[in-house]
A and B are shown apart, each in its own frame.
Chain A
């Protein structure tokens, strides 16, 4: 019997443990993780491959994190089944743990499309530490790589491989890379930088088939693209994205859509059962609805909200939105919310583009409220914009100054500052 049982010990699990301990110093906490060393930063796996970070640096919490928080960490263990009526979780060795409050924080798993030959040696996914370790080992001998997917994961692994001296071909189905978070202008800026680093970018294409080496058919020797072109390579990395790991709740009363449906308190449809992180569909305050947003900072915050509520302190999730900060290829970018609206006429769009300085700033508004932004290179005011966005501030009178280099907190009228920055400037 454990008062709190948490399945999954990445961002959401860590956030939940920290929040529970803020409220309840004594209630027993058990965390189940199928990984050996759970408290590492998933977004840093590309740094492990590139050599920028070692294993120690990847630890996003101290070594004794679980002990310090008096949480029993069952690492290398898998939760295989749930009985929500009797309130227990069954584990892989036939044992089970009873709980009072349960958090499902199982995260996501890589989406792997059906590609002929994808069982060959040298095809990798890129989500966990063990993925990164296998990849890092292969990189020692590999010369050429094909990365399938030009999203965040694809760009991050591409950068790591380039740093390790590999020739990389990035294959993206859409017309531009990072198309979920950037518009065409910003995407082209990134494409230029990546191409200049020696990467071939193949857009509008995907990998149809993975072929073997002439001397060993079970080892990756090349990738055939949908246009028939064959790219010779020693490894193929599937980096399209993640899908929720909802298997644990299948067959239970926990309602799912693509992910587990939760309310603003991270409660599922079953009482005393919560969900957070990449497995959950939580609230997006820009779209005003729940959806999958598999992002580390949101997972941690959702985990915290779940933890507080599980421990009896009411906490409402303010909501997140699509939000990414990019460091790759030394072109800093921050992109938040609606950045590339399909029906542009329904929005007001402010743009500043100075190609000679590689500067691009774009703010998207609806009814004078910021609903999205993209900043390339000049990123330091992103948080101020995000704050205005989260608070739904009407920026009508500031609009002409938002993209100015001089925009700062002092640009905001004092009355507004007092309102949206409570506690300051007493």
Chain B
């Protein structure tokens, strides 16, 4: 299975990963509309972590033994047996924040609606996730990893 790996030595901290994630998860998939017209502005599921001079992008790691799946009160967080992805069902989510409490990476966020959480879905409809495809310096790599 493929996962996103951050190469912090290549990260320039430009934040384009967040921009393209936001666009990808917008209704319009258009950068201008996503940023200026969609209210609330769609959330980037990848977070650029900066502590100068260090920076790298982090998103849901789709953990093998995912604490968020065990802790989820509503069954919204599930581990897909085939793909190994941690999936989040927004319709089942009750925004109890329990997953946020247990995510070791701090990779789960409150959705701008304040009613549910939001996290990386590895852009399952794309060949390569938007953050990886648009990283200008190869600081995000999408590659096969051992489970």
Taking a contact as CB atoms under 8 Å apart, the answer to whether A327 and B101 are in contact is: no
Q: Closest approach, in angstroms, between the C-beta of A317 and any C-beta of chain B?
A: 12
Taking a contact as CB atoms under 8 Å apart, the answer to whether B104 and A410 are in contact is: no
- Per DSSP, are chain A's interface residues mostly helix, strand or loop, or mixed? mixed
Taking a contact as CB atoms under 8 Å apart, the answer to whether B96 and A336 are in contact is: no
Q: Which residues of A contact B110 (CB under 8 A)?
A: 332, 379-380
Taking a contact as CB atoms under 8 Å apart, the answer to whether A384 and B50 are in contact is: no
Taking a contact as CB atoms under 8 Å apart, the answer to whether A410 and B102 are in contact is: no
CA distance A330 to B114 in the complex (A): 8
Taking a contact as CB atoms under 8 Å apart, the answer to whether B105 and A334 are in contact is: no
Taking a contact as CB atoms under 8 Å apart, the answer to whether A384 and B106 are in contact is: yes
Determine if B5 is an interface residue (Cβ-Cβ < 8 Å). Answer: yes
* Cross-interface CB contact of A297 among B75, B91, B102, B109, cutoff 8 Å: B102
Taking a contact as CB atoms under 8 Å apart, the answer to whether A380 and B106 are in contact is: yes
Taking a contact as CB atoms under 8 Å apart, the answer to whether B101 and A382 are in contact is: yes
Determine if B8 is an interface residue (Cβ-Cβ < 8 Å). Answer: yes
* Cross-interface CB contact of A325 among B6, B70, B98, B105, cutoff 8 Å: B98
Q: Which residues of B contact A195 (CB under 8 A)?
A: none
CA distance A60 to B72 in the complex (A): 9
Taking a contact as CB atoms under 8 Å apart, the answer to whether A43 and B49 are in contact is: no
Determine if B19 is an interface residue (Cβ-Cβ < 8 Å). Answer: no
CA distance A383 to B68 in the complex (A): 10
Nearest A-chain residue to B76, judged by Cβ: A60
Q: Closest approach, in angstroms, between the C-beta of B72 and any C-beta of chain A?
A: 8
Q: Mark B96-138, 1 if CB is under 8 A from A, else 0.
A: 1110111111101110001000000000000000000000000
Q: Which residues of B contact A44 (CB under 8 A)?
A: 73-74, 94
Q: A380-B109, A425-B6 are in contact. Are A414 and B97 (CB under 8 A)?
A: no
Q: A325-B97, A327-B94, A379-B97 are in contact. Are A41 and B103 (CB under 8 A)?
A: no
Nearest B-chain residue to A300, judged by Cβ: B70
Q: Which residues of A contact B56 (CB under 8 A)?
A: 409-410, 425
Residues 15-62 (chain B) with a chain A CB within 8 angstroms: 47, 49-51, 54-56, 58, 61
Q: Closest approach, in angstroms, between the C-beta of A141 and any C-beta of chain B?
A: 27
Taking a contact as CB atoms under 8 Å apart, the answer to whether B54 and A43 are in contact is: no
Taking a contact as CB atoms under 8 Å apart, the answer to whether A59 and B75 are in contact is: yes
Nearest A-chain residue to B117, judged by Cβ: A380
Taking a contact as CB atoms under 8 Å apart, the answer to whether A408 and B98 are in contact is: no
> What is the size, in residues, of chain B's interface with A at 8 Å between Cβ atoms?
37
Taking a contact as CB atoms under 8 Å apart, the answer to whether B100 and A387 are in contact is: no
Q: Which residues of B contact A95 (CB under 8 A)?
A: none
Q: Closest approach, in angstroms, between the C-beta of A425 and any C-beta of chain B?
A: 7
Q: Closest approach, in angstroms, between the C-beta of B16 and any C-beta of chain A?
A: 17
Chain A interface size, under 10 / 10 to 19 / 20 to 34 / 35 or more: 35 or more
CA distance A52 to B73 in the complex (A): 15
CA distance A296 to B101 in the complex (A): 13
Taking a contact as CB atoms under 8 Å apart, the answer to whether A408 and B94 are in contact is: no
Determine if A314 is an interface residue (Cβ-Cβ < 8 Å). Answer: no
Q: Which residues of A contact B50 (CB under 8 A)?
A: 406, 408, 410
CA distance A387 to B70 in the complex (A): 15
CA distance A53 to B110 in the complex (A): 19
Taking a contact as CB atoms under 8 Å apart, the answer to whether B98 and A297 are in contact is: yes
Nearest B-chain residue to A409, judged by Cβ: B49
Q: Closest approach, in angstroms, between the C-beta of A178 and any C-beta of chain B?
A: 15
CA distance A244 to B5 in the complex (A): 45
Taking a contact as CB atoms under 8 Å apart, the answer to whether A41 and B74 are in contact is: yes
Q: Mark B1-14, 1 if CB is under 8 A from A, else 0.
A: 00001101000000
CA distance A400 to B48 in the complex (A): 21
Taking a contact as CB atoms under 8 Å apart, the answer to whether B75 and A60 are in contact is: yes
Determine if A381 is an interface residue (Cβ-Cβ < 8 Å). Answer: yes
Taking a contact as CB atoms under 8 Å apart, the answer to whether B5 and A426 are in contact is: yes
Taking a contact as CB atoms under 8 Å apart, the answer to whether B106 and A409 are in contact is: yes
CA distance A300 to B47 in the complex (A): 29
Taking a contact as CB atoms under 8 Å apart, the answer to whether B70 and A15 are in contact is: yes
Taking a contact as CB atoms under 8 Å apart, the answer to whether A386 and B74 are in contact is: no
Taking a contact as CB atoms under 8 Å apart, the answer to whether B51 and A381 are in contact is: no
Determine if A411 is an interface residue (Cβ-Cβ < 8 Å). Answer: yes
Taking a contact as CB atoms under 8 Å apart, the answer to whether A383 and B73 are in contact is: no
Q: Mark A404-426, 1 if CB is under 8 A from B, else 0.
A: 00101111001000000100111
Q: Which residues of A contact B74 (CB under 8 A)?
A: 41, 44, 57-58, 60
CA distance A381 to B56 in the complex (A): 16
Taking a contact as CB atoms under 8 Å apart, the answer to whether A297 and B71 are in contact is: yes
Taking a contact as CB atoms under 8 Å apart, the answer to whether B101 and A410 are in contact is: no
Taking a contact as CB atoms under 8 Å apart, the answer to whether B73 and A296 are in contact is: yes
CA distance A327 to B93 in the complex (A): 12
Q: Which residues of B contact A324 (CB under 8 A)?
A: 101
Q: Which residues of A contact B70 (CB under 8 A)?
A: 15, 297, 300-301, 304
List, sorted by A's number, 21 A–B pairs whose CB atoms are closer than 8 Å.
Answer: A41-B74, A43-B73, A52-B94, A57-B94, A60-B72, A297-B70, A297-B71, A301-B70, A323-B101, A325-B97, A330-B114, A380-B100, A383-B106, A384-B104, A408-B51, A409-B56, A410-B50, A410-B55, A410-B56, A411-B51, A414-B54
The chain A residues found within 8 Å of chain B, CB to CB, are 15, 41, 43-44, 47, 52-53, 57-61, 296-297, 300-301, 304, 323-327, 330, 332, 334, 336, 379-384, 386-387, 406, 408-411, 414, 421, 424-426
Which 3 A-B pairs give the minimum distances between C-beta atoms? A60-B75, A297-B71, A383-B103
